[in-house]
Amino acid sequence: MRILIVEDATRLAALLAEALAKHGFASDRAPTLSAANDALAAAAYDAIVLDLGLPDGDGLAWLKRRRSASLPPVLALTARGTLTERVAGLDAGVDDYLTKPFAADEVAARLRALLRRSGPRAAPILSAGPISLDVAARRATVSGATLDLSRRELDLLELLMRRAGAVVSKDAIETALYSFDSEVTPNAVEAIVSRLRKHLDEAGVSGVLHTIRGVGYLLEDRT
């Protein structure tokens, strides 16, 4: 996995590169947007870590200009994680955000999550902690042992694993699991989640599938 870090604070960029190396990411550094352009022209990257305030321009404006050319997923670093900034960023094509200061583990986890999401470079085998999911073969395993899951349970697991470490809303699950015309009973999602949780418990991974009551569900991304 090769990452491009676009950050003008060179010491921060060096520390981040060093920390990401421990998580198995190789990274190049670009202190300016023009350096980033050069780097992107010279090599293929799996993801970009982009500071939004750079000496030769605004990171978001740069992204908007570059979006026509296909870019790898972008994790933005921002000093102020305010909502207005976030909305502007998502419009510009930022895939995820981290507010400074951040822990290196968090950057690595977000990058893994970005790479897991569907896309041209989406991993064929997803993993979250001891759980693995072969997307094409529709097979889930825990530490090598196959889980006996129904189609809907597998779909749910895939959805949660693609966004491991983040909350997946109940609405998003309903939309993904059921077609428009099918009748969804109010407790259908709860029932599937509780069956999946039971399967995971039996396989020895308990306490990783959390219910955020009233909002959705979160599968832990333990490493």
- Which spans of this chain sit near another protein (rule: CB under 8 A)? 9, 11-12, 15-16, 19, 53, 79-80, 82-84, 99-104, 165-167, 169, 210, 212-216, 218, 220
Question: Which is closer to another protein, CB of 86 or CB of 139?
Answer: 86
Cα–Cα distance, 137 to 17 (Å, whole number): 35
Closest distance between another protein and the C-beta of residue 85, in Å?
9
Q: What does 23-87 look like in DSSP terms, one character per residue? A: TT-EEEEESSHHHHHHHHHHS--SEEEEESEETTEEHHHHHHHHTTS----EEEEES---HHHHH
> Which is closer to another protein, CB of 82 or CB of 150?
82
The widest CA-to-CA distance across the chain, in whole angstroms, is 55
Using the minimum distance from each CB to another protein, give the nearer residue, 100 or 198: 100
- Give Rg (Cα) of the chain: 19
Which residues, other chains included, contact 65 with Cβ-Cβ below 8 Å and sequence gap of 6+? none
At its nearest, how many Å lie between another protein and the CB of residue 199?
21
Closest separation in Å from C-beta 80 to another protein: 4
In whole angstroms, the minimum distance from the beta carbon of 150 to another protein comes to 27
How far apart (Å, rounded) are the C-alpha atoms in residues 119 and 109?
A: 18
DSSP per-residue string spanning 167-207: EEEHHHHHHHHS-TTS---TTHHHHHHHHHHHHHHHTT--S
| Among 127, 103, 123, CA closest to 115 | 123
Rounded least distance, CB 223 to another protein, Å: 13
Min CB(139)–another protein separation in Å: 27
Q: For another protein, which is the closer residue by CB, 17 or 40?
A: 17
* Cα dihedral across residues 147, 148, 150, 151: positive or negative: positive
Name the residue nearer to another protein (CB basis): 103 or 191.
Answer: 103
Give whichever of 80 and 198 is closer to another protein, judged by the CB atom.
80
